[in-house]
């Protein structure tokens, strides 16, 4: 973390602006702050977490829900935050014809995705699905998986991209599913407390509406940021 690009002429670290207070932005900001780099994280919403939005009383997840596989960075963060996890049972039921029917949902979806051939021209998942000889239930399961679990538009997302994501998930034990016992919001709170403890102020409702990027220089960023302020940043690579 001693990259000279973060240092000025006197050897002092230049302030770093992190745009976005989702889990990735918070984790990056907390790590940089831990190395003594002045941080200015900016979040457009009045809350942190991005797609993570936990109602803490139960908890109820309104956004990200699962720990999908054994991603090392995520597992390390959960361990550092001293949070416990619960395994999600691999049991599924579908409501059909007025009753619940046992069905291995991910096995059915896996068969659909396995029909994708990366050697063929890419196309949207919706176009791929229309070409498959599937029953109505399997077709609906696959569509709901892409638009629900993956939060993607079936008529826009690349079928090849979905296949690459599935292969990547398999490499990190993607069949393992879990949840954070106190909800994903507990991990957001952990990063927020780390950042505050290390002297990094968090600016909420600070909307960045334009970033101007140029090579080989750095234009001075705003020295003061007020909550709720709309910003225009000039960022240049060194």
- The reported pTM is 0.71
| pLDDT score of 3 | 47
Ramachandran assignment for 11, one of left (phi > 0), alpha (psi -120 to 50 degrees), beta (any other): left
Q: Where are the beta strands (DSSP E) in 79-164?
A: 85-87, 93-96, 99-102
| pLDDT score of 167 | 85
Number of neighbours of residue 227 by Cβ within 10 angstroms: 12
- What are the two backbone dihedrals, phi and then psi, of residue 208, each rounded to the nearest 5 degrees? -90, 110
CA distance 235 to 226: 19
Structural contact between residues 105 and 141, judged by C-beta atoms closer than 8 angstroms: yes
CA distance 73 to 109: 27
For residue 189, what is the enclosing H or E element? Answer: helix 185-197
| pLDDT score of 228 | 53
| pLDDT score of 2 | 40
* Average pLDDT along the chain, 238 residues, taken 10 residues at a time: 49 81 93 89 92 88 87 91 91 86 86 91 95 91 89 93 87 81 95 87 84 60 52 49
**Cβ contacts of 161 within 8 Å, gap of 6 or more:** none
Structural contact between residues 40 and 223, judged by C-beta atoms closer than 8 angstroms: no
Q: Which domains does the chain have, with CATH numbers?
A: 4-67+77-84+183-237 (3.50.50.60), 91-174 (no CATH)
């Amino acid at each position: 973390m001693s990259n000279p690009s973060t240092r000025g002429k006197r050897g002092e670290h230049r302030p770093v602006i992190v745009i976005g207070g989702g889990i990735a932005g918070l984790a990056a900001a907390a790590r940089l702050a831990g190395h003594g780099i002045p941080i200015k994280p900016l979040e457009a919403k009045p809350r942190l977490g991005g797609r993570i939005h936990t109602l803490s009383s139960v908890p109820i997840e309104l956004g990200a829900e699962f720990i999908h596989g054994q991603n090392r960075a995520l597992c390390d963060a959960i361990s550092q935050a001293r949070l416990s996890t619960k395994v999600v049972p691999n049991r599924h039921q579908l409501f059909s014809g007025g009753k619940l029917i046992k069905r291995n949902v991910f096995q059915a979806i896996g068969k659909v995705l396995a029909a994708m051939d990366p050697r063929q021209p890419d196309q949207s998942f919706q176009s791929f699905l229309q070409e498959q000889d599937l029953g109505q239930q399997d077709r609906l399961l696959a569509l709901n998986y892409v638009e629900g679990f993956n939060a993607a538009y079936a008529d826009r997302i690349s079928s090849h991209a979905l296949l690459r994501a599935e292969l990547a998930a398999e490499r990190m034990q993607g069949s393992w599913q879990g949840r954070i016992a106190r909800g994903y919001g507990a991990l957001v709170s952990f990063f927020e407390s780390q950042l505050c403890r290390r002297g990094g102020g968090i600016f909420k409702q600070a909307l960045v509406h334009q970033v101007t990027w140029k090579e080989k220089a750095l234009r001075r960023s705003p020295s003061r940021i007020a909550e709720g302020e709309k910003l225009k940043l000039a960022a240049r690579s060194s």
